[in-house]
Amino acid sequence: MRNLVLYLFVLFNSCNAQEPTQEVSSGKPKQSPQATSATIDPKDYPKGYFRNPLAIPLQLSANFGELRTNHFHMGFDIRTAQRENLPVFAAAEGYVSRVKIEPSGFGQAIYLTHPNGYTTLYAHLNSFYPQLSEYIENKQYESQQWQQEIEFEPNQFRVAKGEVIANSGNTGASAGPHLHFEIRNTETENNLNPWLFNLGLTDNIPPSVYRLYFYDRRYSTYQVAPTPIPIRGSNGNYTRDGVLVVPTPTISFGIAAEDKYNISAFRYGIYAAELWWDDTLRSSFRLDNISYNETRYSNASIDYTTKLSGGAYIQHLSRLPGNASTIFTTLHTDGLITLTDTAVHDAKIFVKDAAGNTSIVTFKVRFDPAKVDDRVFAANSINMSPGRENTLTEEEVEVVFPPKAFYDMVPFVYKAEEPKDTKVVSKIHHLHNYKVPVHDYYSVRVKPAVPLTEEAKEKVVMQLVSNRKIVTMKGKWNNDWKEGSFRDLGYIRLLIDSTPPAVNSSWRNGANLSKAASITIYTRDNTEVESFNAMLDGQWLLFSRKGNSFIHKFDERTSAGTHNLTVTVEDVPGNVTEKTFAFTR
């Protein structure tokens, strides 16, 4: 084994001797000529053009680029003092270019396009200003659909800077009252870091670096766990005592770090990081210009497996092979370090916030060939690599992963088991495990394990169970195979659901609701509620949706008198429940 290690060490030396290095005479790091725009100062965005969209002091509960599962946070979450219905003001003059109303995501959101080439977005709103609300409500009643996405012409709804455009709220995928605020480039629709527009926030506290890690990059980051590197320090200066001896000639690094603002106890995401190796820039990223088309690459920018195993967010200081995100610079190594000798090397990591505060981590690294330890992995795994189509073909399941599905090589393990639930009509197909992310949707074909009548087939849905999350879809039949697509790993099954949704009201049937401001219909289903329809005395009535609750705020359509409300609820496989409730106003 030792002879093999020495042979590999000589081979690495001969193959990589031409790798360039750069020396400096001063103590300050010198930028590599290969560094790209991610390491230079950001664009000079207009300062003071946009105002605080609230009338209270600006305080954040989340900043731009903060790490989330499946996405970067794409704006500011502005605190509303734990209250709803605060007035929301136009951050600058412009016009209402779009309105979006949805049960999850932004909830109710308004987009303003401004003459300087930017668009602002305000989300999780409870309501819009009266003229706009009336227009939208008319559209909802015309289409008999609460959910809407409406685009407007520049002259339809113009607004002045400081004009009230909405009331703040807690709609959509919001866990508490706040205002989500974004600034976008109107032409590209890329989201920009609002901090760079000088909205009045101050910060002179450098980011905190909690932990440092290295990875043995002879292997996939989904094969080996990160190795922690103890560091000490505070207030922007961190170091590791002694020399870090690594047992591999190919490494990359990761950090766990957060930022803090002067007036807040919250912790926020960092803005940028740079890795310097022997005074040469080897990798950097900056979070200031991200499109929603690439925000899912956040899963490639973190150690996804560690996070979903209950660990901290570790941000990679290298670009994984399948990470096409534009947040990274494009350098010749993408942050991968190949050690071709046993000398001691100097490493520096700079961690920055958007206000310009910087923390530095310094440490020394040496490769010891005698400590190299080769890993052995499961013999039944299938190597699935980024950049190419990967397939799994078994007797009762076929899966096709597109070229952009994976960020790093996945030692994919498949397992099938017999179901214990009689409603499950296929084998349970375990597709590796949920701790490996998938970028693009992949297609799945599943064959039932039991004969099904045509009537039974109509009630069959496909389910993906992943990390306590269940995704249900109707799919389609192709001969005797059910076909669908998913975006997470886990286990997949075919399930017969012939049980209609449960439907209940927030009031006792026939109750007097003259003092109530609203009514709520609660639904529950074995799979998912697909559609909801309400008719008041034979006329369609508008209900908003939050999760599986449907809310109507009383207005002129629910006049004084006795009313009959007929509610029709349908789930994914097409089971329908219809119920009539009476009340008096």
Mean pLDDT score of the chain, rounded to an integer?
Answer: 91
Number of domains in the chain: 4
Alpha-carbon distance of 317 to 94, in angstroms, equals: 40
Does 371 or 27 have the greater pLDDT score?
371
Above 70 in pLDDT, residue 18? no
State which residues form the domain around 446.
Answer: 382-496
Above 70 in pLDDT, residue 220? yes
287 belongs to a structural domain: yes
pLDDT band of residue 380 (cuts 50, 70, 90) is confident
Main-chain phi, psi angles of 141, to 5 degrees = -75, -35
Please check whether residues 487 and 533 belong to one and the same domain. no
- How many C-beta atoms surround the C-beta of residue 313 within 10 A? 22
Q: Find the CATH number of the domain harbouring 151.
A: 2.70.70.10
State pLDDT tens for residues 468-489: 899 999 999 999 999 999 999 9
51 belongs to a structural domain: no
Contacts of 129 (CB under 8 A, 6+ apart): 163, 164, 165, 166
Contacts of 37 (CB under 8 A, 6+ apart): 329
Q: Looking at residues 153-166, what average pLDDT do you find?
A: 97
Please check whether residues 9 and 77 belong to one and the same domain. no
CB distance 375 to 252 below 8 Å: no
Q: Which pair of structure tokens corresponds to residue 90? A: 């136009």
Contacts of 293 (CB under 8 A, 6+ apart): none
Burial 157-195 (b: 16+ CB within 10 A, else e): bebeeeeebbbbbbbbebeebbbbbbbbebeeebbbbbb
- How many C-beta atoms surround the C-beta of residue 389 within 10 A? 13
- How many C-beta atoms surround the C-beta of residue 224 within 10 A? 16
State pLDDT tens for residues 258-280: 999 887 888 999 999 999 999 99
Give the per-residue pLDDT at 4.
37
31 belongs to a structural domain: no
- Say which DSSP state 26 is in: S
Above 80 in pLDDT, residue 240? yes
Above 90 in pLDDT, residue 211? yes
304 belongs to a structural domain: yes
26 belongs to a structural domain: no
Above 80 in pLDDT, residue 248? yes
Alpha-carbon distance of 9 to 15, in angstroms, equals: 10
Please check whether residues 325 and 403 belong to one and the same domain. no
Q: Looking at residues 72-94, what average pLDDT do you find?
A: 97
Closest CA to 262 of 206, 314, 181: 206
State pLDDT tens for residues 333-347: 789 999 999 999 999
Please check whether residues 218 and 350 belong to one and the same domain. yes
Please check whether residues 120 and 179 belong to one and the same domain. yes
Residue at which a domain ends, from 447, 465, 496 = 496
pLDDT band of residue 36 (cuts 50, 70, 90) is very low
Above 50 in pLDDT, residue 15? no
Alpha-carbon distance of 429 to 415, in angstroms, equals: 6
pLDDT band of residue 9 (cuts 50, 70, 90) is very low
pTM of the model: 0.89
Above 80 in pLDDT, residue 518? yes
Residue at which a domain ends, from 496, 530, 549 = 496
Please check whether residues 208 and 355 belong to one and the same domain. yes
Please check whether residues 352 and 226 belong to one and the same domain. yes
Give the per-residue pLDDT at 379.
79
Residue 470 half-sphere exposure toward CB, CA atoms < 13 A: 11
Q: Find the CATH number of the domain harbouring 569.
A: 2.60.40.1220
CB distance 417 to 490 below 8 Å: no
Give the per-residue pLDDT at 42.
56
143 belongs to a structural domain: yes
- β partners of residue 531: 570
249 belongs to a structural domain: yes
CB distance 247 to 216 below 8 Å: yes
Alpha-carbon distance of 109 to 172, in angstroms, equals: 9
- β partners of residue 489: none
Residue at which a domain ends, from 461, 496, 531 = 496
Q: Find the CATH number of the domain harbouring 488.
A: 2.60.220.30
Question: Percent of the chain scored above 70 by pLDDT?
Answer: 92
Q: Find the CATH number of the domain harbouring 343.
A: 2.60.40.10
Please check whether residues 469 and 510 belong to one and the same domain. no
35 belongs to a structural domain: no
Above 80 in pLDDT, residue 535? yes
Please check whether residues 250 and 342 belong to one and the same domain. yes
CB distance 84 to 117 below 8 Å: no
Give the per-residue pLDDT at 343.
97
Please check whether residues 113 and 83 belong to one and the same domain. yes
The SS3 of residue 306 is helix
Above 60 in pLDDT, residue 241? yes
Alpha-carbon distance of 177 to 169, in angstroms, equals: 5
pLDDT band of residue 43 (cuts 50, 70, 90) is low
Longest dimension (CA), the chain: 92
Please check whether residues 306 and 329 belong to one and the same domain. yes
Please check whether residues 318 and 187 belong to one and the same domain. no
